[in-house]
Structure 1
Amino acid sequence: MQRRHLIAGGLAAAAMPTFALAQGLEKPKVTIAVGGKNLFYYLPLTIAEQLGYFKAEGLDVNIVDFAGGSRALQAVVGGSADVVSGAFEHTISMHQKGQPMRAFVLQGAAPQIVLGVNPKTLPNFKTVADLKGKKIGVTAPGSSTNVMANFVLAKAGLKPSDVSIVGVGAGNGAVAAMRAGQIDAIANLDPVITLLQRSGDLRIVTDTRKLAEAEQVFGGPMPAGCLYAPQSFLDKNPHTAQALVNAMVRANKWIQQAGGGDVIKVVPESYLLGDRAVYIDGFLASKQAMSADGSFPAKGGQTAFNALASIDPKMAGTKVDLNAIYTNDFVKQANAKYPKG
């Protein structure tokens, strides 16, 4: 499909009348909290926003960006946002805390998180065990990048307390921290990873942008970026939730048909981190890890639970109803309405 057709389709959606649609929505104005909006991890969110898919569903969406997913989650818990665009595994940890959250549309079929080391500070790195006593940069402490780092460390026999976790964000700050030698390793996402790799400031150790490697690391399908919200929000606002999912599913399908050149014409200039070629390379590296239609895999909940339980003794002894942490009901309706996006 040609670029002009891809973009024209989104602009046409933005021009559709929304008054009639909005009348059926319980909550037309929705605030979504996200941690690192510029990341490919959340690209469907940006595409849905930029191409007018939310507006086409009668929604007035305000997206608030934070340094990491854990802070975005705090915004919803605190009541300043309605929905989180964040990591799937947070729904499990929130159920454990007695604050049920439910994921209702998938953005990433794999975490897309890369763990790599700094060749300047660790020139003789051989195994993950060499990270003992070192500083590892993550988007924000407690975020999915932190969880992934802890998981890889655990497989190497290291505890979270064996390293120092440093929050470096998901943009230029993360790049600067690596180049300045302030951190010895990093768990982050594209375009940060591709930018560091291209400049020789990163040696990749584990790459979950690759579906096969992600499944090998986690032992099964590991759902990643998604929209999730308190169960009470979904119960009170089913039409609003459906409208959000319709927009996200359309964005997922647009991405599957898009090339790097299409994407850079839609996303804000600031996402490119000053290098369009690097951004396109990052998109191509991450594309296979993005959800094709917003559906959660049947075994994804168990995989995510196992990952969390392996690094959190409290989680290991907890019983969580894995059917209560996600639903494909909204996604099924969205795919029926927009079979081609």
Structure 2
Amino acid sequence: MNRRDQTPEAKPPMGGNIDMRLHALITAAAIVLSGTAFAQTKVTIGGTGSATDVGLWVADKKGYFRDENIQVEFITFDSAVRMVTSLASNSLDVGAGGHSAGLFNAIGRGIDIRIVSDKSQNVTGRGSQKLIVRKDLVDSGRYKSLADLKGMKIAVSAPGGSAATVILKFLEKGGLKPDDVEQVSLSFPQMSVALQNKAVDAALPAEPSVTQALRTGAAVAVANDYDVYPIHQISEILYSSKFATANPDVARRFMRAFLRGVRYHNDSLNNKGEFTGARGDEIVSILTEYGPYKDAAIWRSFIFAYCNPDGALHLPSLKEDLTIFKQQGLIEQPKVEIDQMVDTSFVAWAVKELGPYKKAP
């Protein structure tokens, strides 16, 4: 694992010179058998440290990127919205996060950023986000239903992000309008602190920050995202223009490694999204190593959102979010459409290479 704020530890070779020579011979033989020799390529990945980055983390830990001669560097952003500038300037190769009005506007201006794969979908029973409200407001009766959000200060990760459409649906269910509340932008970890300090009244964080906030005792969960949005494409894998076009073979092989990570993770979950068996223990260990929280109990305490193991996107909800952003006046180019943004060629190649997903027994 290589992070922008970490220096990777140098690891001594196992077994001395004999093992090193044997490893070199095996590697050379594998290249000959495959018929293709790949030069190692460094790929930068932007993420938010949310639980839905798991497919990328597993792909790195299990060596799937290494199998493709790809070295990855993870760079943490406080929201996916902040990645757009870096993707637009090609200073970031891959983005792992939710779509936003800012992303759609960049694409509408002719900037080539591509939505290439699913990263997470909130489906009924398996969502990554919860609406949480300060416990003192619930205990006092100030909050009893969604209608009571009126006049409250609600923390979201960024204005015009994919989570903002969920907030809008919560407000509509409570008979409220956007200007009935005050929305403030905070990173997911900051939301917990703000709730404890009573700087905000409610928040919509993603796991594992939901669980961390609830563990402080300062907030309680009052609604799930899927209560108002039964199937929601919440985050995606994004490719910058340079990464997608300068060496498309690397971009395809990156996708193959990512889907292997998603599939391995998916095999560790039961139908409820809970970790089971030895593979579940392994995935929890990876989450604890790569994620922002080092307590394994946190990662075991919530249901994981769904990620399609064949990388398929849920286009209807992407289109619905774009429509909502247009209705809110957040989109600069009214004619921009989802079809301009999505490139499924990388996923199609990877699935052809790997075969359609079949859950391991």
Q: Which category describes the TM-score, using the shorter chain as reference length?
A: 0.7 to 0.9
Aligned partner of residue 120 in structure 2, secondary structure: coil
| CA distance in structure 2 between the aligned counterparts of 1:118 and 1:65, rounded to whole angstroms | 27
Counterpart of 2:237 in structure 1 is 227
Q: How does 1:132-147 map to 2 (within 5 A)?
A: 132-147=150-165
Q: How does 1:49-88 map to 2 (within 5 A)?
A: 49-88=60-99
SS at match of 1:222: strand
Deviation at 1:204, TM superposition (A): 2.5
Q: Deviations over 1:132-174 (max 9, x none)?
A: 3322222344443344324433554545444333333233x33
* Deviation, structure 1 residue 42: 1.7
C-alpha contact 1:76 1:82 (8 A) present in aligned 2: yes
Structure 2 partner of 1:205: 222
Who is 1:46 aligned against? 57
Aligned to 1:271: 291
**Aligned counterpart, 1:127:** 145
Q: How far apart are residue 184 of structure 1 and its match?
A: 0.6
Question: Which of 329-338 and 313-322 deviates more?
Answer: 313-322
1:28 to 31, 41, 54: 41
Correspondence for 2:323 among 303, 306, 311: 306
The 2-side partners of 1:270 and 1:315 are apart by 35
Aligned letter for 2:239?
Answer: A
1:1-341 counterparts in 2 under 5 A?
Answer: 17=27, 24=38, 28-34=41-47, 36-37=48-49, 39-89=50-100, 91-110=103-122, 112-123=128-139, 124=141, 125-154=143-172, 156=174, 158-171=176-189, 173-208=190-225, 213=226, 217-218=228-229, 221-231=231-241, 233-258=243-268, 259=275, 260-269=280-289, 271=291, 273-282=293-302, 285-287=303-305, 289-310=306-327, 312-315=328-331, 318-339=334-355
Letter in 2 for 1:253: R
Query: 1:27-83 deviations in whole A, cap 9, x for unaligned?
Result: 92221222x22x112221222222222121111221110111111222223442122
**How far off is 1:103 after superposition?**
1.0
Q: Distance in 1 between matches of 2:152 and 2:83?
A: 27
Structure 2 residue runs of 5 or longer lacking an equivalent are 1-22, 269-274
Distance in 2 separating the partners of 1:297 and 1:17: 39
Between stretches 145-154 and 104-113, larger displacement belongs to: 145-154
Structure 1: where are the runs of 5+ without partners? 1-13
AA partner of residue 336 (structure 2): V
**Aligned partners of 1:228, 1:68: CA distance in 2, in Å?**
14
Query: Which amino acid letter does the alignment assign opposite residue 223 of structure 1?
Result: Q
CA distance in 1 between counterparts of 2:151 and 2:317 reads 32
What TM-score, normalized to structure 2?
0.74
Q: Label 1:316 to 1:120 Cα distance change in 2 as closer, same or farther (>3 A).
A: farther
* AA matched with 2:299: Y
**For residue 50 of structure 1, what is the amino acid of its counterpart?**
K
> Aligned to 2:310, what secondary structure does the other structure show?
coil
AA aligned opposite 2:45 = I
The two structures have a TM-score, normalised by structure 1, of 0.78
Alpha-carbon distance in structure 2 between the residues aligned to 1:143 and 1:273: 24
Call closer, same or farther: CA 1:183–1:294 in 2, change over 3 Å: same
Q: Which amino acid aligns with 2:53?
A: Y
CA separation in 2, counterparts of 1:232 and 1:157? 45
**CA 269–32 in structure 1, closer or farther in 2 if over 3 Å, else same:** closer
Percent identity over the alignment? 22
| The 10-residue stretch of structure 1 (125-134 or 14-23) with the greater mean CA deviation from structure 2 | 14-23
Q: Answer whether contact 1:122 1:184 (CA < 8 A) is retained.
A: no
Letter in 1 for 2:297: A
* RMSD (CA atoms): 3.2
Q: How many residues align?
A: 313
Matched residue type, 2:235? G
In structure 2, C-alpha distance between the alignment counterparts of 1:205 and 1:161, rounded to whole Å: 21
Question: Structure 1 127/97 Cα, relative in aligned 2: closer, same or farther at 3 Å?
Answer: farther
- Further displaced range: 321-330 or 296-305: 296-305
CA displacement 1:168-194 (0-9 Å, x = unmatched): 3233x3322222322110111111212
Give the drift of 1:256.
1.0
Question: Residues 186 and 61 from structure 1, CA distance in 2 versus in 1: closer, same or farther, beyond 3 angstroms?
Answer: same
